[in-house]
């Protein structure tokens, strides 16, 4: 295996790839543009109490700009796998070997399904490291890998990979049952990754509370039940093994915790979410993993923005954001058949009086301003006018209101006697104390009428 391609230079790929590049002259990196720019400018650096160093490997963001690899090592997050397979496919030959270092248990099968041949060696990384900034990896604990053939035999390619790691001073162990090894790490990941996020603390905080032991047993029990159903039985004392293995790394945060704090996407769908989906498919209850998945997603996923949402902000206790489904789910008494206020039309709307009940308004709020997308047009109304006359149309002819009809949301004010209070393409509603920006003109454009078809 002369040419080695490391895909990714994050906390895992950056550390192991840098060590391989330090001891092997034919290691190249496939990187995202931001990381690529940093590595080209400053090199790839590992900072560690065991010794810091910098390497300057060949790197690119296009696989065609790198030597054709004999060995491809995947050091990226599992949720990037589909994109990575598209990137590396042009250089995968009938002799290429792919080593996986992802969390989760389905990477190997997905690769085999994609490339339709026995090209995969399974791997598990044991390391505590972080991305300090693009191209700089801070290493704290461990730094070993376990690898194995999916069929359990010691193949020449497996031994060759072990020797590559050993020559780079990376402890590399062989597993005769790499699927079980990956499931054992899955147990640990499904416990401590989400729990450290929820408690906003290190692993020790979970280990030191006796009440948490029951939770750990339930999480691991659900993972083991799914694993057994997928023909990979785990030892009955797996919960105790998970706790014992964690004692010597009790001071660490987890990768999910670090991703959350850095504002990056987490691997919850690859870990607990995978257990939930497989449990449903196999008829195995996984209530604790389901709860952890839901709580992590609620806590870590950023508020959605963009078209199709309306934001209510300003003189409110807490801003809110609602999409079409959230508006449609508001109490029925707030909804309006558009035909009753706009004859000849078939659609649904929500009264502003009902919409404004969602946020808690400041006690002295007295005006409501409705803004179109990009703030190109706005109408300011008194709070009383908005509640008495305002209707926000969100459906037309049984479908979400489209842009050509003034969607995704359009304000009408039937009964107010002022057609210019109608606002197309509503994106934002601000609550104020006193009047706000109003771009209405004295006369309305003649085409400012709601179309009868989308």
Contact 160, 1 (CB under 8 A): yes
Task: Decide yes or no: CATH 3.40.50.300 for domain 179-302.
Answer: no
The residue ranking higher by pLDDT, 168 or 301, is: 168
Phi and psi, residue 55, nearest 5°: -120, 155
Phi and psi, residue 81, nearest 5°: -60, -45
CA 76 – CA 87 distance, rounded (Å): 13
DSSP 303-347: PP-STTEEEEEESBSS-EEEEHHHHHTS-GGGEEEGGGTSTT--E
Helices (H), 177-271: 178-199, 203-207, 210-229, 238-246, 255-261
Predicted confidence at residue 183, as pLDDT, reads 98
Q: Which residues contact 100 (CB under 8 A, 6 or more apart)?
A: 74, 107, 108, 111, 120, 121, 122, 123
111-121 average pLDDT score: 94
Q: Looking at the predicted structure, is the pLDDT value of residue 445 above 50?
A: no
Q: Is the CA virtual torsion 214, 216, 218, 221 positive or negative?
A: negative
Predicted confidence at residue 448, as pLDDT, reads 43
CB-based burial label for 419 (10 Å; 0-12, 13-18, 19+): middle
CA 106 – CA 293 distance, rounded (Å): 18
Predicted confidence at residue 449, as pLDDT, reads 42
Predicted confidence at residue 446, as pLDDT, reads 41
Looking at the chain, the whole-number percentage of residues with pLDDT higher than 90 is: 78
Task: Please identify, in words, the CATH class of the domain defined by 1-176.
Answer: alpha beta
Bridge partners (DSSP) listed for residue 138: 47, 130
The pLDDT-based confidence of 303 (bands split at 50, 70, 90) is low
* pLDDT tens by residue, 248-258: 888 989 999 99
Q: Looking at the predicted structure, is the pLDDT value of residue 91 above 70?
A: yes
CB-based burial label for 241 (10 Å; 0-12, 13-18, 19+): middle
Task: Decide yes or no: CATH 3.90.420.10 for domain 309-432.
Answer: yes
21-28 average pLDDT score: 95
How far apart are the two ends of the chain, measured CA to CA in Å? 61
Predicted confidence at residue 235, as pLDDT, reads 95
Cis peptide before 408 (omega within 30 of 0): yes
Q: Looking at the predicted structure, is the pLDDT value of residue 85 above 90?
A: yes
- Single pTM value for the model: 0.76
- E-assigned strand segments in 104-212: 120-133, 136-148, 172-174
Q: Looking at the predicted structure, is the pLDDT value of residue 80 above 60?
A: yes
The residue ranking higher by pLDDT, 224 or 442, is: 224
Residue with tokens 């293995």: 245
Predicted confidence at residue 374, as pLDDT, reads 82
The pLDDT-based confidence of 440 (bands split at 50, 70, 90) is confident
Predicted confidence at residue 383, as pLDDT, reads 93
The pLDDT-based confidence of 386 (bands split at 50, 70, 90) is very high
* pLDDT tens by residue, 121-171: 999 999 999 999 999 999 999 999 999 999 999 999 999 999 999 999 999
Helix (H, G, I), strand (E, B) or coil at 63: helix
CA 58 – CA 229 distance, rounded (Å): 44
* pLDDT tens by residue, 178-191: 999 999 999 999 99
The tokens for 73 are 């090592």
CA 300 – CA 298 distance, rounded (Å): 6
Contact 413, 344 (CB under 8 A): no
* pLDDT tens by residue, 389-418: 999 999 988 889 888 888 899 998 887 765
Domain ranges (residues) in the chain = 1-176, 179-302, 309-432
The tokens for 69 are 């690899």
The pLDDT-based confidence of 451 (bands split at 50, 70, 90) is very low
Task: Characterize the bridge pairing of strands 320-323 and 309-314.
Answer: antiparallel
The pLDDT-based confidence of 444 (bands split at 50, 70, 90) is very low
CA 149 – CA 179 distance, rounded (Å): 9
197-218 average pLDDT score: 93
Predicted confidence at residue 307, as pLDDT, reads 66
The number of residues in the chain equals 454
The tokens for 258 are 């670090």
The pLDDT-based confidence of 227 (bands split at 50, 70, 90) is very high
Residue 50: name the closest of 8, 22, 31, 9 by CA: 22
CA 398 – CA 400 distance, rounded (Å): 7
45-51 average pLDDT score: 93
Residue with tokens 């490391």: 6
Residue 112: name the closest of 103, 104, 121 by CA: 121
User: CA distances (Å), 353 to each of 59, 331, 335, 336, 392, in order?
Assistant: 58, 12, 10, 12, 10
276-305 average pLDDT score: 91
* pLDDT tens by residue, 256-281: 999 999 999 999 999 999 999 999 99
323-342 average pLDDT score: 90
Q: Looking at the predicted structure, is the pLDDT value of residue 454 above 80?
A: no
Q: What is the DSSP letter of 403?
A: G
Q: Which residues contact 129 (CB under 8 A, 6 or more apart)?
A: 11, 12, 14, 15, 137, 138, 139, 140, 143
276-299 average pLDDT score: 96
């Amino acid at each position: 295996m002369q040419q080695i391609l490391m895909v990714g230079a994050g906390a895992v790929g950056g550390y192991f790839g840098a060590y391989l590049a330090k001891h092997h002259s034919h290691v190249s990196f496939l990187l995202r543009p931001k990381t690529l720019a940093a590595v080209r400018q400053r090199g790839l650096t590992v900072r560690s109490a065991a010794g810091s160093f910098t390497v300057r490997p060949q790197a690119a963001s296009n696989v065609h700009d790198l030597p054709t690899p004999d060995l491809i090592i995947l050091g990226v997050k599992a949720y990037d796998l589909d994109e990575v397979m598209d990137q590396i496919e042009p250089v995968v030959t009938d002799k290429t070997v792919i080593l996986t270092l992802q969390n989760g248990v389905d990477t190997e099968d997905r690769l085999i399904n994609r490339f339709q041949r026995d090209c995969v060696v399974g791997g598990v990384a044991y390391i505590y490291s972080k991305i300090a900034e693009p191209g700089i990896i801070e290493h704290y604990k461990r730094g070993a890998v376990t690898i194995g053939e999916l069929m359990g035999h010691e193949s020449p390619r497996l031994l060759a990979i072990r020797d590559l790691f050993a020559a780079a001073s990376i402890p590399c162990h062989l597993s005769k049952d790499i699927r079980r090894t990956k499931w054992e790490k899955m147990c640990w990941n499904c416990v401590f990754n989400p729990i450290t996020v929820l408690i906003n603390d290190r692993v020790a905080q979970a280990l030191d509370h006796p009440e948490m032991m029951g939770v750990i047993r339930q999480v691991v029990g659900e993972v083991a039940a799914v694993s057994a159903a997928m023909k990979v039985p785990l030892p009955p004392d797996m919960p105790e093994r998970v706790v014992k293995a964690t004692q010597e790394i009790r001071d660490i945060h987890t990768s999910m915790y670090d991703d959350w704090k850095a504002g990056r996407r987490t691997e919850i769908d690859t870990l607990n979410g995978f257990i939930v989906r497989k449990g449903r498919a196999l008829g195995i209850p996984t209530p604790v993993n389901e709860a952890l998945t839901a709580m992590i997603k609620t806590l870590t996923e950023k508020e959605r923005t963009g078209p199709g949402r309306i934001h209510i902000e300003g003189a409110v206790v807490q801003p809110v954001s609602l999409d079409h489904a959230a508006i449609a789910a508001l109490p029925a008494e707030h909804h309006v058949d558009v035909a009753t206020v706009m004859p000849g039309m078939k659609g649904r709307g929500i009264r502003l009086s009902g919409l404004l009940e969602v946020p808690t308004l400041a006690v002295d709020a007295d005006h409501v301003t409705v803004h179109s997308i990009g703030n190109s047009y706005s109408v300011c109304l008194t709070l009383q006018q908005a509640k008495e006359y305002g209707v926000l149309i969100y459906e037309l002819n049984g479908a979400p209101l489209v842009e050509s009809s003034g969607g995704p949301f359009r304000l009408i004010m039937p009964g107010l006697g002022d057609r210019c209070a109608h606002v197309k393409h509503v994106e934002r509603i601000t609550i104020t104390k006193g009047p706000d920006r109003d771009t209405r003109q004295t006369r309305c454009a003649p085409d400012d009428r709601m179309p009868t078809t989308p």
